[in-house]
Amino acid sequence: MNEQILKNTNAKLLDEFNASINFDKNLYSQDIKGSLAHSQMLFLQGILSEDEKNKIHKGLEQIKKDIENGNFEFKLEDEDIHMAIERNLTKIIGETAKKLHTARSRNDQVATDFKLYIKEKNISLMAQIKKLLFTFEQICKNHTETLLPGMTHLQHAQPINLAFHLLSYVNMFQRDFKRFESSNQRNDTCPLGSAALAGTAHNIDRFKTASLLGFKTPCANAQDGVSDRDFALEILFNISTLSMHISRISEELILWSSYEFDFIKISDEYATTSSIMPQKKNPDVPELLRGKSGRIYGNLFALLTVMKSLPLAYNKDTQEDKEGVFDSVKNIELCLSILDEILKTMQISKENMLKACKKGHLCATDFADYLVQKQNFAFRDAYYLAKDAVAKADSLNKDISDLSFEELKDSSPKLKSLASLNKEVLTCLDLRNSMNSRDSYGGTSSKQSKIQIQELKEWLEQN
Ligand code: ARG
């Protein structure tokens, strides 16, 4: 390569390295919205004439149409969406376009565009979560009587109903919803008019621009306005937590669809076959829902790292804020709608869930509680008697809930000699009675689960 070619190649590489147009073109509508508001404010302040403002508005509307109809050429030389739009505006309306950038800089412009984008995404993600919660409500309504083993340490623990189980996820997704909402409330400040870093000498009205763009107030410090990316970190964190919740439920769907559990069948559309094992049906889609959390957490950590030692105010490093956010948003939108479909289309086997309740002596605690409540035992003594009953059941290859009264009495000398113990004790060993006995607020009883569903219904009406 001769020197000239090398120079040109390097220049091209540098252009590519420096430019953000390939991804920040995603922000074209927010950029145009910001420019419309900015020029309107400049007009109201007497900085632009009405004619100039009208020309600029017409040109910007034209550019929006061109971009949406695919008639806009994004060029690397334009570097970013802000320059691309300004240059095209100049082409369309001529000299007047050059006045648009009065009292602003790309620093406040990009912060505003990105904030507007994230604000919109917080709202649309909330709508998607709400849709998912409606699906949960529909499923829960039919399953307040569907027994399954509640687990701790992935070991059978106590009987619960399926609605109660799913309502745990409902609570997670409700918190997610509130996180997106509160992030929007916290970040409802407009950077536009911060200019490069220190504000401007032009007589602008930042309150006007903020209100035209739907922000509550302008951000209070221009330097913070151009360098703050907390709102981007927040959406990345909120999406990360949401994706962690999606990953957790996906893990359960994967387990539940295995032969070992056989609680659900995932609809064929969301499972795939193996290229070698003809009998296989793999839960690829929930596995991907689980796996997506990796890149989503990565995007959060990438931006935290970019931001951690930036001196004030704007630094080009922050150009690295966008791709991760776009990626996390795109993937979480997909995850939310796919999870919704999987839940709607999966088949639930009440029989197998019930069968699983017959393993692991789920009512052992109930037996101990019964001895405390009805036979005046101290809990620790009752605990050991229940342990004996479990051992007895194991020796007979039965579950504690299937022991006869005689077998139960036979489980320890103390019980055998306990004259006041009668057949009523068997009621506490019934799985359904056990589930319904946990009737404390927030508990698993069918009654409490119905109350939780009612609370969900009211929440959905209010939010
Ligand atoms: N493309 C830039 C970004 O995304 C826009 C702001 C550039 N400002 C500057 N002074 N170079 O951050």
Pair 98, 305: CB distance under 8 Å: no
Who's near 121: CB < 8 A, 6+ residues apart? 235, 329
Q: Place 274 in a pLDDT band, splitting at 50, 70 and 90.
A: confident
Using the atom order of ligand 1, give the atom closest to the CA of residue 79.
1
- 6 against 166, higher pLDDT: 166
At 8, the pLDDT band (50, 70, 90 cuts) reads confident
Per residue in 197-242, pLDDT (tens digit) is 999 999 999 999 999 999 999 999 999 999 999 999 999 999 999 9
Please tell me the predicted confidence (pLDDT) of residue 222: 98
Cα angle 416-420-426, degrees, rounded to a multiple of 5: 75
pLDDT band at 77, cuts 50/70/90? very high
Task: Convert the pLDDT of each residue in 79-131 to its tens digit.
Answer: 999 999 999 999 999 999 999 999 999 999 999 999 999 999 999 999 999 99
Q: Is 20 in the pocket of ligand 1 (CB under 6 A)?
A: yes
What is the per-residue pLDDT for 269? 87
110 touches ligand 1 (CB under 6 Å): yes
The domain limits of the chain are 2-102, 107-356, 364-462
What is the homologous superfamily of the domain 2-102 according to CATH? Fumarase/aspartase (N-terminal domain) (1.10.275.10)
* Nearest Cα residue to 48 out of 106, 101, 99, 105: 99
pLDDT tier for residue 1 given thresholds of 50, 70 and 90: low
pLDDT value at residue 324: 98
Higher model confidence: residue 272 or residue 398? 398
Q: What is the pLDDT of residue 281?
A: 82
* More reliable by pLDDT, 243 or 3: 243
pLDDT (tens digit, 9 = 90+) per residue, 427-444?
999 999 999 999 999 999
pLDDT above 70 covers a percentage of the chain that reads 100
Distance between CA atoms of 101 and 86, rounded to whole angstroms?
8
Catalytic: which of 153, 275, 309, 417? 153
As a whole number of angstroms, the distance between CA 438 and CA 414 comes to 27
- When the pLDDT of each residue in the chain is averaged and rounded to a whole number, the result is 96
Residue with tokens 């151009």: 226
Which ligand 1 atom sits closest to the C-alpha of 80?
1
What is the band of 278 on the pLDDT scale with cuts at 50, 70, 90? confident
Residue 153 known to be catalytic: yes
The residue-averaged pLDDT of 178-190 equals 98
Class of domain 107-356: mainly alpha
**What local confidence, expressed as pLDDT, does residue 64 receive?**
98
If DSSP codes are grouped into helix, strand and coil, which group holds residue 354? helix
Ligand 1 neighbour 229 (Cβ under 6 A)? no
319 CB less than 6 Å from ligand 1? yes
Which residue's alpha carbon is at the smallest distance from atom 11 of ligand 1?
316
Buried b (16+ CB within 10 A) or exposed e, 145-158: ebbbbbeeeeebbb
